[in-house]
């Protein structure tokens, strides 16, 4: 076992062990050790092997950078990057770090530019990240300046590989990661393409918040349909996701790292819930009615049997379709105990004004204060506080014990198990 220290007569597990001291508990499938959420060394290995490893990381929607010169600041894992569209229409992703002294040169969230100029010493880069110009390259009055053999070509920004799928832009540090369609796998692609069928998107707005928890907790949360039926009053009361509805928790069959939580709500939002089911759910409140029932209208527009699909795409993307509200959530890890969440809400370019208004209205479900975004933030904060400050050190995952992968039951932890089985193989635990 990893290092322990004795505190007032009892054993306190180290919450920040070195990677070499991290040994996964014996019953590997049904236990998660606290150090995956708290160790700095584990976090550093995750950045290296996962975010900078053989993965495709979400960075932007093409709709955010439609024209030449358009750019957006983004992140791959915690690493700041710029996503830019060049004159030839290509999308380029490079690190937001000046090749000279390391300044994060791009300071605006979004914009249009002919070139990027670092504010510190005004080194300039083109829209593909190539070094263009250096002030006083030849010095002044034949004194100072760069050596004769300095070549701009050798000092460009660090460039990443880029791919797109139906308007969604991904970047990778890996030279041999598989094509995006293969990476996503057929079972995940099916629901992904229902949201992104290839028609032009229209960005409707953003939410942004910091969560005082480990980034993996967000993946777990969306691979955990059990909590959805218990924590979220709104889902339960208005029948959006109720134990007993037609639903599935899908997991990709290749690695087990991506997932889709899918459910079909009943047409009648006030439909009678089975009394047996009701008894198990403390968050069910009888007789609540909405003032504005348009809020929960589901206009069928997708090639899908589901009214909700929540997809976790490893390692940093959530694709969210809750009835007619659409969004992507970009997970930006920020150390073992903090993450940023960037929500981009969108519709389609050919939506009518009425449809746009409907999507925006339903968008109130989402975001840091959304009717069902709200409780997750709080719950994950509680978990981080618990694992960080307690003396015990194991999380228990025994629902539908032994099963790994896709499950037809909401009362299951089989998808979380699949993710950690994959995680352990990549991380060497």
Q: Which residues bind Fe ion (CB under 5 A)?
A: 376
The three-class DSSP label of residue 10 is strand
Closest distance between Fe ion and the C-beta of residue 230, in Å? 10
The residue (of 91 and 222) whose beta carbon lies closer to Fe ion is: 222
Q: How far apart are CA 106 and CA 19, in angstroms?
A: 34
246 token code pair: 């037609």
The residue (of 312 and 342) whose beta carbon lies closer to Fe ion is: 312
Q: How far apart are CA 333 and CA 43, in angstroms?
A: 9
Closest distance between Fe ion and the C-beta of residue 311, in Å? 14
Closest distance between Fe ion and the C-beta of residue 218, in Å? 10
C-alpha 135: how far from chain center: 40
The residue (of 46 and 376) whose beta carbon lies closer to Fe ion is: 376
Closest distance between Fe ion and the C-beta of residue 246, in Å? 19
CB 373 within 8 A of CB 367: yes
C-alpha 263: how far from chain center: 20
Closest distance between Fe ion and the C-beta of residue 396, in Å? 19
The residue (of 68 and 264) whose beta carbon lies closer to Fe ion is: 264
DSSP state of 28: G
The residue (of 220 and 376) whose beta carbon lies closer to Fe ion is: 376
The residue (of 63 and 231) whose beta carbon lies closer to Fe ion is: 231
Tokens 């750019």 sit at which residue?
Answer: 71
Candidates 209, 173, 210; CA nearest to 47 is 173
Handedness of CA 186, 191, 194, 198 (dihedral sign): negative
The residue (of 315 and 373) whose beta carbon lies closer to Fe ion is: 373
The residue (of 217 and 427) whose beta carbon lies closer to Fe ion is: 217
Residue 46 has a CB neighbour count (10 Å cut-off) of 25
Backbone angles phi, psi at 366, to 5 degrees: -105, 180
421 token code pair: 């089985």
Closest distance between Fe ion and the C-beta of residue 247, in Å? 14
The three-class DSSP label of residue 47 is helix
Backbone angles phi, psi at 324, to 5 degrees: -105, 10
Closest distance between Fe ion and the C-beta of residue 375, in Å? 6
The residue (of 222 and 332) whose beta carbon lies closer to Fe ion is: 222
Closest distance between Fe ion and the C-beta of residue 414, in Å? 17
The residue (of 70 and 376) whose beta carbon lies closer to Fe ion is: 376
Closest distance between Fe ion and the C-beta of residue 231, in Å? 6
Q: How far apart are CA 99 and CA 351, in angstroms?
A: 43
Kind and range of the H or E run holding 322: strand 317-322
Burial of 114 (0-12, 13-18, 19+ CB in 10 A): exposed
CB 253 within 8 A of CB 185: yes
C-alpha 256: how far from chain center: 16
Interhelix angle 215-222/374-389, nearest 10 degrees? 130
Q: Quickly list H helices, 311-403.
A: 353-362, 374-389
Closest distance between Fe ion and the C-beta of residue 221, in Å? 5
Comparing every residue's Cβ against Fe ion, the nearest one is 376
Closest distance between Fe ion and the C-beta of residue 310, in Å? 9
The residue (of 64 and 376) whose beta carbon lies closer to Fe ion is: 376
Handedness of CA 368, 372, 374, 379 (dihedral sign): negative
Beta bridge partners of 206: 344
């Amino acid at each position: 076992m990893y290092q322990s220290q004795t505190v007032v007569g009892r054993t306190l597990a180290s919450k920040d062990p070195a990677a070499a001291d991290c040994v996964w508990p014996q019953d590997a499938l049904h236990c998660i050790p606290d150090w995956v959420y708290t160790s700095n060394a584990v976090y550093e290995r995750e950045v290296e092997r996962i975010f900078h490893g053989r993965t495709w990381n979400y960075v932007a929607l093409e709709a955010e950078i439609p024209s030449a010169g358009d750019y957006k600041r983004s992140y791959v894992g915690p690493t700041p990057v710029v996503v830019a569209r060049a004159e030839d229409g290509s999308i380029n992703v490079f690190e937001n770090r000046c090749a000279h002294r390391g300044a994060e040169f791009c300071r605006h969230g979004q914009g249009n530019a002919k070139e990027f100029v670092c504010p510190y010493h005004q080194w300039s880069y083109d829209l593909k990240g190539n070094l263009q110009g250096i002030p006083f390259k030849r010095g002044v009055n034949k004194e100072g300046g760069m050596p004769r053999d300095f070549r701009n070509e050798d000092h460009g920004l660090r460039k990443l590989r880029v791919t797109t799928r139906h308007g969604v832009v991904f970047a990778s540090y890996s030279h041999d990661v598989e094509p995006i369609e293969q990476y996503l796998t057929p079972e995940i692609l099916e629901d992904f393409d229902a949201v992104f069928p290839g028609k032009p998107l229209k960005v409707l707005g953003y939410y942004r918040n910091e969560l005082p928890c480990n980034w993996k907790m967000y993946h777990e949360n969306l691979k955990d349909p059990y909590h959805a039926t218990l924590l979220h009053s709104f889902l339960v009361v208005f029948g959006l996701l109720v134990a007993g509805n037609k639903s599935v928790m899908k997991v990709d069959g290749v690695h087990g790292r991506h997932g889709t939580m899918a459910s079909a709500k009943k047409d009648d939002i006030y439909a009678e819930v089975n009394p047996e089911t009701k008894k198990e759910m403390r968050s069910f409140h009888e007789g609540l009615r909405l003032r504005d029932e348009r809020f929960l209208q589901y206009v069928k527009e997708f090639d899908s049997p589901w009214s909700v699909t929540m997809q976790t795409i490893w390692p940093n993307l959530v694709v969210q379709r809750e009835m007619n509200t659409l969004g992507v959530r970009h997970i930006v890890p920020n150390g073992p105990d903090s993450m940023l969440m960037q929500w981009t809400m969108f519709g389609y370019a050919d939506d009518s004004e009425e449809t746009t208004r409907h999507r925006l209205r339903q968008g109130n479900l989402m975001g840091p204060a959304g009717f069902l975004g709200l409780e997750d933030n709080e719950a994950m904060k509680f978990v981080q506080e618990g694992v960080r400050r307690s003396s015990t050190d194991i999380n228990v995952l025994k629902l539908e014990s032994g099963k790994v992968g896709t499950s037809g039951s909401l009362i299951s932890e089989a998808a979380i198990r699949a993710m950690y089985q994959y995680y352990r193989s990549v991380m060497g635990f």
